[in-house]
Amino acid sequence: MTDVPPAATHWVPLESNPDWSSKAGLVTSRFAYSDIYGLDEELLSLVPQPVKAVILLFPITEPIDRKMQEEVDHVRKHGQHWVDSNVIWIKQTIGNACGTMGLLHAIMNAGVPILPNSPIKKYIDACRELTPLERSGLLETTTIFSEIHAESASAGQTAPPEATARVDLHFTCFVSAPDPIDPNKKRLIELDGRRDSAFDRGECEDLLKDAARVIKECYVEAAASVQFSMLALAPPPEF
């Protein structure tokens, strides 16, 4: 699978830099990003609760791409469990924008407080009735996000590469959403702009634990790599 069409707009690659979110409008005194240091139960227990979204940075490897393509093909042929209509998913058409896409997908679908009249509030209001491709087109033409993205990229711990550089790392996001068939249950939804749509990962009882299980089974075990990083959108840690 390719990241975006070759002719798409390209942004400077973004590190897992959650400062972007406060600039975009997330009320970081209520919810912020915490590192997830591992997938075992003891390390997951260190993450503040409640977790509202999980962002994964993973390497684009042949085994992972092959598994993703198999999942996409299965959905195209057989369909999938209905995804709640309120879930906002954006098709990625901007090269190297997956970091911003992951942060956007998390904040827009987590039900966390955001500032009125902030860039992300305006974007949510504008894109709710748009198609996933139209949402991406709006993202391409809304300079506020590209400016925040560029500022956050330049503030990373390493010097940013060129905007057209190929970066073999990608961000995806996990959130929970009501089950349209049984409103008493939740579903684990993966939001990745490289796919065809929001992707249902099954029943969700504990977002952090269920996302960790999927990450381990579908990503870590499929990649001969240690280039993984995870963030949880959760209340700020108490010190």
Active site residues: 98, 170
φ, ψ (nearest 5 deg) of residue 150: -65, -40
Burial of 29 (0-12, 13-18, 19+ CB in 10 A): exposed
**Residue-wise pLDDT tens digits, 188-214:** 999 999 999 999 999 999 999 999 999
- Cα separation of 174 and 212, whole Å? 10
Which residues lie across from 172 on neighbouring strands?
56
Q: What is the pLDDT of residue 138?
A: 87
Indicate whether 17 pLDDT > 60: no
How does 123-146 read in b/e, with b if 16+ C-beta sit within 10 Å?
Answer: bbeebeeeebeebbbebbeeeebb
Residue with tokens 């911003």: 100
H or E segment and range at residue 203 = strand 199-203
| Tokens at 112, concatenated | 């966390």
**Residue-wise pLDDT tens digits, 133-184:** 999 888 888 776 666 656 655 454 444 334 344 457 889 999 999 999 998 9
Indicate whether 226 pLDDT > 80: no
Q: pTM score, two decimals?
A: 0.85
Which residues lie across from 95 on neighbouring strands?
10
CATH topology for 19-234?
Ubiquitin C-terminal Hydrolase UCH-l3 (3.40.532)
**Residue-wise pLDDT tens digits, 34-52:** 889 999 999 999 999 999 9
Instruction: Please report, rounded to a whole number, the percentage of residues in the chain having pLDDT higher than 70.
Output: 79
